[in-house]
Amino acid sequence: MSSTRVLVADANSTDGTPEIVMSFHDRLNVCVIRGGMPSFGRNQGAAQADTPYVLFLDADIELADPSLIRRCMEKAQKTQLHCLTTNIVCKGGSWIDRLFYVGNDFFQYLSYLHRPFATGMFMLFDTMKFWQLGGFNEKILFAEDYRLSQQVDRKRFAIVRGGVYTTNRRFKRMGHLKVGWLFLKTAMNYWNEKHFLRDHKYWANEADSLPRA
């Protein structure tokens, strides 16, 4: 919808992101704001949101279902949810890339039994609850989305089917074993604040970290 406000947090990208974004100005209520690391960029965007809900999207995702956002909003309003996410599909990657994301989706559904989590690839948040939880911790350099979403009561959390497409750029940059081990360690340390505050070199050698809000 042209009335929907879209805020793109740009972290000094070199691929012409601001110009591309503003080329849609005649069709969308869009603007570019100052970004940085993901936590900072997302908080910058959320700080300018004046709506009951705020949707966080990574830069390299596509909606697999055009009705996803509408259905998330309807479910959030109907059942007074605080956080909603969806499943992730790796588009165009190898079978092992796709398998890794199938595993991620499986564990995400399994987390319903204890402490559900969402990823910043697609995270719809009740704006008031978002700030009550303190927003994204800007001292965390990895899994800040995981850390924040785990503070939401599981009765106020939902995973909505429909999905988003992502790329395999993380696997290309770090390798499957390193990505898998890092995510496993994070899941095992969900209770350990020090683990999240440690620099895991996740963004090392990243030419364009692509933080967005």
| Domain ranges (residues) in the chain | 52-197
The average confidence (pLDDT) of the chain is 91
Q: Which CATH superfamily is domain 52-197 in?
A: Spore Coat Polysaccharide Biosynthesis Protein SpsA; Chain A (3.90.550.10)
Name the band, by pLDDT with cuts 50, 70 and 90, for residue 208. very low
pLDDT, position 210: 42
Per-residue model confidence as pLDDT tens digits over 55-87: 999 988 999 999 999 999 999 999 999 999 999
Element (H, E) at 95: helix 95-110
Q: Is the pTM of this model over 0.85?
A: yes
pLDDT, position 2: 64
**Cβ within 8 Å of residue 100, ≥6 positions away:** 90, 171, 176, 179, 180
Query: How far, CA to CA in Å, does 14 sit from each of 20, 55, 71?
Result: 12, 25, 35
In Å, the largest CA–CA distance within the chain is: 47
